[in-house]
Amino acid sequence: MRLQEIIAKKRDGMELTEAEIGTFVDGIVDGSWADYQISALVMAMFIRGLSQGEQDDLTRAMIYSGKVLDLSDVGRPVVDKHSTGGVGDKTSLIIAPVAAACGLAVPMISGRGLGHTGGTLDKLESIPGFDVNLSTERFKELLSRNGYAMAGQTGEIAPADKKLYALRDATATVPYIPLIVASIMSKKLAEDLDALVLDVKTGTGAFMQNYDDSVRLAEALVRTGTGFGVRTEAVVSDMNQPLGKFVGNALEVYECIKILRGETEPEMMPTLDLSIELTAGMLVLGGVADSPESAKAKINEILDSGAAFEKFRENVEVQGGDVSVCDEPQILVARDLENVPVLSTSAGFIGGIDTAAIGNAICSIGGGRSRAEDVVDHAVGFASLVRVGQEIAVGETLGVIYCRNAGQSDSVGQNLLKAYEISDDPVAQPALVKTIVT
């Protein structure tokens, strides 16, 4: 079958068959199709739409475009968490050890940061020596032995998505729910999961900024997961401000270790609260807790006893990381950085925060990547010290830039200041968890 015939069919608004979608995906992986042909078909899908059946066929073809893990012998319920990405979104580092200490196996296959959003792999690599490049055998061994492992996406899992996502990114075809669902779920469903909890971010730092769109995405993800036999739920969570205190790789790891050590600072509470909410969903879906309430009680016990911290420490050790960061997290806050406060120039209430602007500012001083090949400076970042709704006086500190030199703080200071909208009238604090879709 020639791809131009399939493109023409979708261009004219017709439904594609499973075989045609399979041909498309096979050709992406084996290099039969030119980038312009793939892009043309994706644009036709974007404009003409995909039916539920086409979306499922695309998801299935993408799952089987690579290796599908067999985790049937890890001896625990296999449950993962996936976030659609945000600023200061660091919950994976807390959720994995807590869930593992509660009896689940968590196969965390994560990505790198791109643009304003961070990535778990970059955060982990700010721990000296931490190795995210695990072979499938080693990954499975760690899962059985320790309950969790943190690895990078190898080219073997859902390879069609890697190519397709890059082309969608370059052709303005990312924001279409059926394509997003196929992309996210093909990677997750190739992990042989029993259950999956999705954290769908909504707000100024999320790629779905609009609440109704975020709920629609959450519903579509849950429908697909469930349809493929994986118990799935989605938590739609607030991304109208950075999550917790820090943005920036090493600083975010610092925040997580502080939380796991039971030293949570007030600004870090949202990170802990969201981690508990997501982990509770995993325990219930994974069958090791009867209700969200009993799951939360169990999680608090595991945190208070130090068992989750010990699990994290064990993981750092087995993945080659320097465990002294667990005992002295301050090591992660580089001593040679300048700390430059961003001071409010008006009085009132924090009316809104342009969260993507904060992520972009930190990215621009080296904390993230504008292009996939950029090198990251793990140390730089930002502490966001105020929350939406908080009252603020002139001269009060909105946040602190952790940077290499004054040139960097000069280049982003104004953008960070502008990210905080100050209102004369009181503003309601946004709920952290907006809704849960089951």
Minimum CB separation of residue 404 from ligand URA in Å reads 30
Among this protein's residues, is 183 annotated catalytic?
yes
| Closest distance of CB 279 from ligand URA, Å | 22
327 catalytic residue (yes or no)? no
Q: Which single residue brings its beta carbon nearest to ligand URA?
A: 183
Among 174, 177, 307, 417, binds ligand URA (CB under 6 A): 174
| Binding track over 74-113 against ligand URA, x by CB under 6 A | ----------x-----------------------------
Question: Is the dihedral angle over the CA atoms 81, 280, 106, 190 positive or is it negative?
Answer: negative
Q: Which is nearer to ligand URA, 228 or 254 (CB)?
A: 228
Rounded alpha-carbon distances, angstroms, from residue 64 to 51, 155, 158, 368: 20, 13, 7, 31
The beta-strand segments (E) located in 299-419 are 338-343, 348-353, 381-384, 391-392, 397-403
Strand partners, 197: 81, 233
Tokens at 199, concatenated = 């954290």
Minimum distance, C-beta of residue 179 to ligand URA, in the bound complex (Å): 6
221 binds ligand URA (CB under 6 A): no
Shortest Å, Cβ 111 to ligand URA: 7
Query: How far is CA 105 from each of CA 124, 145, 264, rounded to the nearest angstrom?
Result: 19, 9, 26
Nearer to ligand URA among residue 140 and residue 201 (C-beta): 201
Is residue 46 part of the contact set for ligand URA (CB under 6 A)? no
Q: Does 437 bind ligand URA (CB under 6 A)?
A: no
CB nearer ligand URA, residue 68 or residue 323: 68
User: What whole-number distance in Å separates Cα of residue 322 and Cα of residue 33?
Assistant: 45
Name the catalytic one among 57, 161, 238, 377: 161
Give the residue with the Cβ less far from ligand URA, 183 or 408. 183
Is 187 assigned a catalytic role? yes
Using CB under 6 A as the criterion, what x/- string covers residues 178-197 for binding ligand URA?
A: -xx--xx-------------
Can 378 be counted among the known catalytic residues?
no
Per annotation, catalytic residue among 10, 76, 123, 168: 168
Contacts 24+ apart (CB under 8 A), 150-153: 150/92, 150/96, 150/108, 150/110, 150/120, 150/121, 150/124, 150/315, 150/319, 151/107, 151/108, 151/109, 151/110, 152/109, 152/110, 152/111, 152/112, 152/121, 153/109, 153/110, 153/111, 153/187
* Mutual angle of helices 177-189 and 52-63, in 10-degree steps: 30
Query: Which residues carry out catalysis?
Result: 82, 161, 168, 183, 187
Residues that bind ligand URA (CB under 6 A): 84, 165, 174, 179-180, 183-184
